[in-house]
A and B are shown apart, each in its own frame.
Chain A
Amino acid sequence: GDSVTQMEGPVTLSEEAFLTINCTYTATGYPSLFWYVQYPGEGLQLLLKATKADDKGSNKGFEATYRKETTSFHLEKGSVQVSDSAVYFCAHMNTGFQKLVFGTGTRLLVSP
C-alpha cells in the first residue's frame, strides 16, 4: 500500500551545518509530495511541495526535488539555524483524492 519512509531521528546538528533528511515513498500513479514542519506546541505547517517529477520545492532556505526514478523527496538546507529545530514530516497525496499519507516524522535539534 501507499507509504512514506523517513530517516529515524533525532538529527542533531550545530548551527550553520548542512542538513539532509531522507524521504522515500511508495504510491500508485504520480502523487504530489510535501514537507511539513511542526514546531513545539504547534500544528503542522506546509514547508514546501512539488507536484510533478523533477520539480524542486523551496522555502525558507529548504529545498527538495521530486525524484520519480528513485521515489525520493529528500529535504536539504545549506545552513541550519537554532530556530529550525522542529519535527519534519514528509508526505504524499494522490491527485484523485486529497488523502495525505505521512511519514513518522524526523526531529531536528540544532545547537548554537
Chain B
Amino acid sequence: ETGVTQTPRHLVMGMTNKKSLKCEQHLGHNAMYWYKQSAKKPLELMFVYSLEERVENNSVPSRFSPECPNSSHLFLHLHTLQPEDSALYLCASSQGVAGVGNEQFFGPGTRLTVL
C-alpha cells in the first residue's frame, strides 16, 4: 500500500449503529486529519492530530469520536448518527502541522450514508 488508505470505501448505517472508519498513512508523516465533505459545502476540518495528540477539534458533535493510536493510523468512531451526517469523510496526513506550504495528502474517502 502507498499513500493514504481508507476503509471502508462505502458504509451504510442506521442511526442506532456503532461503526468505525479507518485511515492509514504509509508516508512517514506525523500529522493526520479528518475532513467532512458535504454536497455544495466547503470541506470542513473536523480533527487534527500531531504526534498522536489531538491539536484541533472544530466543534464536532460528540457522536464523532476520533482515535489516533500511533502516527500511522487514525480512526473515527461513529455512534447514534443523524441523516445529516451522511457525507464523504476524508482522511489526510502531512509532515508536521506548521510551516510554509506543507502539503496534505488525502485518502480516497469513505462515503457514509445514515438511514
- Residue numbers of A with Cβ under 8 A of B are 4, 32, 36, 41-46, 49, 51, 89, 93, 95-105
Q: Which 10 A-B pairs have the closest CB atoms?
A: A43-B106, A32-B101, A51-B101, A102-B43, A44-B106, A43-B108, A102-B42, A98-B97, A43-B107, A51-B100
A97-B98, A98-B96, A104-B41 given; name 15 further pairs at CB < 8 Å: A36-B106, A41-B108, A42-B109, A44-B43, A49-B101, A51-B100, A93-B102, A96-B98, A98-B31, A98-B97, A98-B104, A99-B45, A99-B48, A99-B56, A105-B42
Of all chain B residues, the one with the shortest Cβ separation from A36 is B106
**Total interface residues on B, using CB and 8 Å?**
27
Cα A97 to Cα B109 in complex, Å, equals 23
If A43-B107, A104-B40 touch, whether A32 touches B45 (CB-CB below 8 Å) is no
Count of A-B contacts judged by CB separation below 8 Å? 60
Nearest chain B CB to A111 CB, angstrom units: 23
A-B contact pairs, 12 of them (CB 8 A): A42-B108, A43-B4, A43-B109, A93-B102, A95-B100, A98-B31, A98-B102, A99-B45, A100-B43, A101-B42, A104-B40, A104-B42
B102 engages A103 (CB within 8 Å): no
Q: What 1/0 mask marks residues of chain B from 29 to 55 whose CB sits below 8 Å from any chain A CB?
A: 001000000001111010010000000
Nearest chain A CB to B57 CB, angstrom units: 12
Instruction: List A contacts of B40 (CB < 8 A).
Output: 104
Instruction: List A contacts of B102 (CB < 8 A).
Output: 93, 98
Instruction: List B contacts of A49 (CB < 8 A).
Output: 101, 103
A100 engages B101 (CB within 8 Å): no
B90 at the interface (CB under 8 A from A): yes
Nearest chain A CB to B53 CB, angstrom units: 14
B61 at the interface (CB under 8 A from A): no
